[in-house]
A and B are shown apart, each in its own frame.
Chain A
Amino acid sequence: MSTLDLTPRLTDPDTLFEALVEAHRGLAPDASRRLDAKLVLLLANHIGDGDVVQQAIAAAIGNPAATPAAPSDTA
């Protein structure tokens, strides 16, 4: 089973954050919600691993028990 990678991986985090927020500009709440749902579905399919998505759901909910422990060899 693959493990959700929770280490920083983005080379340009500010651009990504801006792009996410920008995508919602001018959208009504329901359209905004639908946009986020589409993003999740697109990315989940790209990941293609239900276990990883389940771990991401648990991490998003903030359930520490369901979030996999970091590999022990990282400091």
Chain B
Amino acid sequence: MQSTYVHPHYAHVPPTDDGARHKVVVVGGGLVGLTTALDLAHRGQQVVLLDDDETVSVGSRAISFAKRTLEIYARLGLGARLLGKGVTWNVGQVFFGDRSIFAFDLLAEPGHQYPAFVNLQQYYLEQWLVEACQATGLVDLRWRNRVVAVENRPDAVDLTIEVPGGSYRLTAEWVLACDGAHSFVRETLGLPFVGKVFRDRFLIADVLMKAGFPAERWFWFDPPFHRGGSVLLHRQADDVWRIEFQLGWDSDPEAERAPDRVCARVRAMLGPDVPFELEWLSIYTFRCRRLEKFRHGRILFLGDAAHQVSPFGARGGNSGVQDADNLAWKLLAVLRGDAPQTLLDTYDEERAAAADENILASTRSTDFITPKNEAARAYRDAVLELSEQHAFARPLVNSGRLSEPAVLRASRLNTPDAGSWTGGLPPGAPAADAPVVCDGREDWLLRHLTADGFTLLLFGTPDEAPAAALTAPAGRTRQGAWPVRSVFVSPVEGDGVLWDREGLAAARYDAQSGTAVLLRPDQHVAARWRSFDAVAVAAARRRALGITGDERQRIPA
């Protein structure tokens, strides 16, 4: 059926290191496993990646990559490729019955390098990730390697791996389980994966067509061509369009899978004169659930292996990528002896909170899209009818709350605010991008953040900058591993500064002259101050590395 994409074939190479010990083994070569491996390799870490298949994902699967995800991939060198091949979109439209009731713009403000969303079939991104992993020379990609036994010991994990013609064993200091919703690692450890099953069924039809629809997310409640259900239309690359039909719990999945029946549904929607071809189809039900803990000794769970959400809101793939972004630098800091192992517990704390946010949002979307009883339906339809005329009702319409990055508010790595702030980015928030001018060229703030350490954004004109910060390369803010690098963000042009010509950086960070913002290696805010203080910066850096008073004796910082 699939005509626009040819799956690459990755050759299995028989293993030659039976019984070997590796620092990091990633289990699962899907979107999240590959992203995790690439992030670690980008930071200089060797990784073994085991995947039980020999190609990338089949079917379009995750299609909407959010701004924060795009910024993470920009850091990993894939940003331009995603923008080039993917379909950029910012606008969503909501229909009720036969009427368009309103449109919304997810990126209403200008001055961001990346759009609210780019739609792209998951297999493209996986293929690029494989190529990028290979290019680092640090990722040992092992295809047709299926983990069949796991022993989680206190100081290492033993893995038994089945390969064509036999099996072998590896020992890993750390195992990153990225093996998806049906995670073998999770199941073999007997870890409960609890949550909620939704009594509904959806049909995904990816169709190939030259259609005149704009690159927007269109969502119908109860349209004339699919009475009683909801329908989503979304454009992907290669003129492939994702169409999702809500089928209801009583539908017969086998009958609905028949291509004739699917084509009839699509034709009813598009009209008789729009030619199309079926590219892929799938029928799914879904759950919202998560592991209680994402860290179990030396095994860490990421992506769908750790948490599962409903697809409304594009929170599955995007949250998995943020898991990788959160964990990679922490694992590296622990592996290199720069941070205590307890830093890895903060991966669990921070990303479990994010998973809860995603589960809550996607559960609420699902409850709006599939009303559970007559009262829920009455409220839902009341909201939809009111929203056509009245702006107040539009924020109540929930066709999926589209993925936004988690603000890690409660993290113990944050240094709580002192001083007065009227907004901006609180500790735990991901860094905001802004247009800047650097050495006379148009540029973007995020491109100047350092990945192998901390970045201190110092706002103000260079002649106001504190001497201690100016001498930072040799001064007190520069520590051995994971150093703090100062970046000056100035309202006037000058050598060695980012010129905040439009004032958007200062506005987004609620910055005044003298404001200092410390960013972690994953670009989240660790601390902020109204004025620079080298001792406070050093303390906030230690705190963000999970180094408490006791550990200062042992961990070289």
Contact = CB atoms under 8 A, between A and B. Distances in A.
The yes or no verdict on A and B being binding partners is yes
Contacts of B103: none
Contacts of A45: 392-393
Contacts of B258: none
Given A34-B381, A34-B382, A34-B385, A41 B374 contact: no
A66 interface: no
A37 B382 contact: yes
A41 B379 contact: yes
Given A38-B385, A38-B386, A41-B386, A33 B378 contact: yes
A36 interface: yes
Interface string B383-398: 1011000001100100
Interface in A5-52: 30, 33-38, 40-42, 45
B383 A41 contact: yes
Contact of A33 (B375, B392, B396): B375
Contacts of B386: 38, 41-42
Contacts of B375: 33, 37
B400 to A, nearest CB: 20
Interface string B231-247: 00000000000000000
A45 B390 CA distance: 11
A33 B374 contact: yes
Contacts of A33: 374-375, 378
Interface in B383-432: 383, 385-386, 392-393, 396
A30 B377 CA distance: 9
A70 to B, nearest CB: 30
A33 B392 CA distance: 20
A42 to B, nearest CB: 7
A30 B222 CA distance: 16
Nearest to B375: A33
B445 to A, nearest CB: 35
A38 B385 CA distance: 9
Nearest to A48: B392
B378 A41 contact: no
A35 B382 CA distance: 7
B379 A30 contact: no
B382 A30 contact: no
B383 to A, nearest CB: 6
B382 A38 contact: yes
Contacts of A42: 386, 392
Contacts of B382: 34-35, 37-38, 40-41
A36 B379 CA distance: 9
A40 to B, nearest CB: 8
A38 B386 CA distance: 7
Interface string B522-548: 000000000000000000000000000
16 contacts: A30-B377, A33-B375, A34-B378, A34-B382, A34-B385, A35-B382, A37-B375, A37-B379, A37-B383, A38-B382, A38-B386, A40-B379, A40-B382, A41-B379, A41-B382, A45-B392
